[in-house]
Structure 1
Amino acid sequence: MTSPVANILGVSFTTRGFDETVAHLTQRIDSGEQTHVMTANPEIVMLAKGHSAFRSIVDQAYVVPDGIGIVYAAKWTNQPIYERVTGVELVEALMAEAHKKQWNVYLLGATPEVIRLAAEKLSNRYPQARIVGYRDGYFRQDEEEQIVREIASKKPELLFVAMGSPRQDEWLARYRDQLNASLMMGVGGTFDVISGKVKRAPLFWQKLNLEWLYRLMATPSRWKRQLAIPRFVWTVFREKWRNRS
């Protein structure tokens, strides 16, 4: 039985909650299904709305609601998304499954120091998970084929790629059929958090759904990216009222 989806400005999100998402993705891996997971926030939705090539990648992915703006948009449009499925928490939960099932894991992206620290910390935290390889994201285009071959040779159940959006998902879509990975997921700045380089918002801010504001205060250079949020809100309400008329 397939789960219903919520359509937010043309992007189809799974409506599963966090625990159900982890269970379903684990089931897909166990059954040999290949999955490209995207954790989408308002910025990703607006990018997909404005770029048809990226939109086609999103349409083929398993899209989860990372971003409180998506949850609010679903509420405003009476659709059944009730909780966020954040990238950092999803990576940790999947690594816990990898620990239980002794899955192979490959990490790609971020800086050399960050990816090394992230691999080290994940290995210590989930010792039965097999981190079969990692490398930073600073490689030339002519090195990509060799990297793809290396990943494919390791046959990872989990492949986490941190190159920023939309590059990470474009890269996964381009090489999806060659990577020999069960679950592929673009993880943005997750390795920065896991490595300890970047601190996640305190739980108080998370519970208030103000993690985005904490990140903006901590890194003011993000303000241009945050402009996608008011544009997203305006577009959701405009579409809602247009559909009512």
Structure 2
Amino acid sequence: MKVARILGIPFSIRGFHETVEELVDRIERGEQTHVVTANPEIVMIAQEHQEFRRIVEQAYVVPDGIGIVYAAKWLGLPIYERVTGIELLEALMQVADQRGWKVYLLGASPEVNRLAAERLAERYAGAKIVGHRDGYFSQDEEAAIVQEIAEHKPELLFAALGAPKQDLWMDRYAANLQVSLMMGVGGSFDVIAGKVKRAPRVWQRLHLEWLYRLLSQPSRWRRQLAIPRFLWKVVRETKKA
């Protein structure tokens, strides 16, 4: 797979539709894939978290965040469009609907997890939601959760445990999960459940979705500090080149 490295992170250079096609092909071939949807915050976490960095370097990383696209432009790298986690989830669910794939949803609060499962089952009736479990579980319960997922052998596992926890968890149990494609989806279940509104289309077209989220959820300001830190590191890399 051709990649473009930004601060050492290997991003796929495929556009959205090409990404969906590639991931579907991998599932059909029975190839296990760990997808990481990486924005500037994820990249900065990987700079400081060695184990997470190892996982990201081995994963299928897509550019979820306009900051990644801008950084690629400054660095002269062939990444031209975002591949957002929630849109990728929806696209894979459409394929699951058509092909009768099995899906497992892990993470978020009990209510959000339940509502997300219900909404996805309604919208993609051909897909099989074979199980769902909220993210409020203890370490002692993990073996049973892994066993439940493995018994169903789903094509798709979506985990909403937050980064880097969701990716660390999936990597830890990858050999036992019997899953074709596993992907961390952060707050996507909250949007699907209707608890959080995604930015209106006009904000998305203007590449200001990050600002809409910040204005809607001011408590995110600490997380958003990763954006200027990321951009500063990219500028420094550009000057070195």
Q: Quick one: distance in 1 between partners of 2:52 and 2:84?
A: 21
Query: Any gaps of 5 or more consecutive residues in structure 1?
Result: none
Written as runs of structure 1 = structure 2, the 5 A alignment for 1:1-245 is 2=1, 4-243=2-241
The Cα shift of 1:49 comes to 1.2
Query: Any gaps of 5 or more consecutive residues in structure 2?
Result: none
Q: Quick one: distance in 1 between partners of 2:57 and 2:155?
A: 22
Q: Quick one: distance in 2 between partners of 1:89 and 1:242?
A: 35
Q: Quick one: distance in 2 between partners of 1:149 and 1:224?
A: 36
The Cα shift of 1:95 comes to 0.2
Q: What is the DSSP-based 3-state SS (H/G/I as helix, E as strand, rest coil) of the residue aligned with 1:120?
A: helix
RMSD of aligned Cα (Å): 0.6
The Cα shift of 1:239 comes to 1.1
CA offset digits 1:108-159 (Å, max 9, x no partner): 0001110111000100100010000001000011000000000000000000
- The one-letter amino acid paired with 2:96 is A
Tell me how many residue pairs correspond in the alignment.
241
The Cα shift of 1:60 comes to 1.1
Q: Quick one: distance in 1 between partners of 2:41 and 2:208?
A: 16
* TM-score normalised according to structure 2 size: 0.99
The Cα shift of 1:209 comes to 0.2
The Cα shift of 1:52 comes to 1.6
Q: Quick one: distance in 2 between partners of 1:124 and 1:235?
A: 44
* TM-score normalised according to structure 1 size: 0.97
Q: What is the DSSP-based 3-state SS (H/G/I as helix, E as strand, rest coil) of the residue aligned with 1:143?
A: helix
Q: Quick one: distance in 2 between partners of 1:22 and 1:167?
A: 24
The Cα shift of 1:193 comes to 0.3
Q: What is the DSSP-based 3-state SS (H/G/I as helix, E as strand, rest coil) of the residue aligned with 2:54?
A: helix
Q: What is the DSSP-based 3-state SS (H/G/I as helix, E as strand, rest coil) of the residue aligned with 1:137?
A: coil
Sequence identity percentage:
68
